[in-house]
Amino acid sequence: MTTTSWTGPRGVDGGLLLFRIRAVPVVLAPSWWVGSAFVTGLYAPMIGQLLPGTSVVGAFALAAGFALLLGVSVLLHELGHCVVALRYGLPVRRLRLFLLGGISEVGRSPARPAQEGMVALAGPAVSIVLAALFGALLLIGPSGGALWLLLMEGTLANAAVAVFNLLPGLPLDGGRMLRALVWGLTGTRVAGTRTAVAGGGLVAASLLLWALLRQVQGSPDRWLWSGVCAMTAWFVIMGARGELRSERERVWPEGLVLADVARPVLQLPAESPVADALAAAAGRGVVLVRADGVAAGLLDQPRAEHLAAKSPLAPAEHAAEEIRPDTVLLESDSGEEVIERVHGTAAWQFLIVDTEGRPAAVLRRDDLKAALAARRRG
pLDDT digit string (tens) for 359-368?
A: 999 999 999 9
Return mean pLDDT, the chain: 88
Question: Averaging pLDDT over each range in 98-102, 119-123, 223-227, 248-252, which range is the top one?
Answer: 119-123
Higher pLDDT, 92 or 43: 92
Distance (Å, whole) CA 358 – CA 356: 6
User: What domains sit in the chain, N to C, each tagged with a CATH number?
Assistant: 2-249 (no CATH), 258-377 (3.10.580.10)
Distance (Å, whole) CA 343 – CA 6: 10
Half-sphere exposure of 331 (CA within 13 A, CB side): 13
Mean pLDDT for the stretch of residues 67-73: 90
% of the chain surpassing 90 pLDDT: 50
**Full-model pTM:** 0.74
Distance (Å, whole) CA 128 – CA 130: 5
Q: Which residues are catalytic?
A: 78
Query: Does residue 224 have a pLDDT over 90?
Result: no
Distance (Å, whole) CA 73 – CA 87: 22
Tell me the pLDDT tens digit for each residue of 155-179.
998 998 899 999 999 999 999 999 9
pLDDT at 248: 80
pLDDT at 5: 57
Query: Does residue 199 have a pLDDT over 90?
Result: yes
Omega before 171 cis (within 30°)? Answer: yes
DSSP-assigned beta bridge partners for residue 25: 20
DSSP structure string for 245-269: HHHHHTSPPTT--HHHHSBPEEEEE
Query: Does residue 13 have a pLDDT over 70?
Result: no
Nearest in space to 351 (alpha carbons), one of 288, 280, 309, 274: 288
Mean pLDDT for the stretch of residues 105-117: 88
Mean pLDDT for the stretch of residues 128-145: 89
- On whether the CB atoms of residues 28 and 15 are closer than 8 A, the answer is yes
Biggest alpha carbon–alpha carbon distance for the chain: 82
Distance (Å, whole) CA 19 – CA 328: 31
Provide the angle, in degrees to the nearest 10, between the axes of the packed helices 30-50 and 222-249: 150
Distance (Å, whole) CA 153 – CA 29: 23
pLDDT band at 378 (very low <50, low <70, confident <90, very high): low
pLDDT at 376: 72
Query: Does residue 143 have a pLDDT over 80?
Result: no
pLDDT at 9: 44
Q: Which range is least confidently modeled, 105-109, 114-118, 268-272?
A: 105-109
- On whether the CB atoms of residues 7 and 92 are closer than 8 A, the answer is no
β-strand pairing of 285-289 with 295-299: antiparallel
Higher pLDDT, 340 or 264: 264
End-to-end CA distance of the chain: 38
At 102, is the secondary structure helix, strand, or coil?
strand
Mean pLDDT for the stretch of residues 45-62: 85
Distance (Å, whole) CA 213 – CA 93: 40
- On whether the CB atoms of residues 374 and 296 are closer than 8 A, the answer is no
pLDDT at 336: 81
Q: Which range is least confidently modeled, 110-124, 218-232, 274-288, 339-353?
A: 218-232
Mean pLDDT for the stretch of residues 54-74: 89
Residue 112 contacts by C-beta under 8 Å, 6 or more apart in sequence?
none
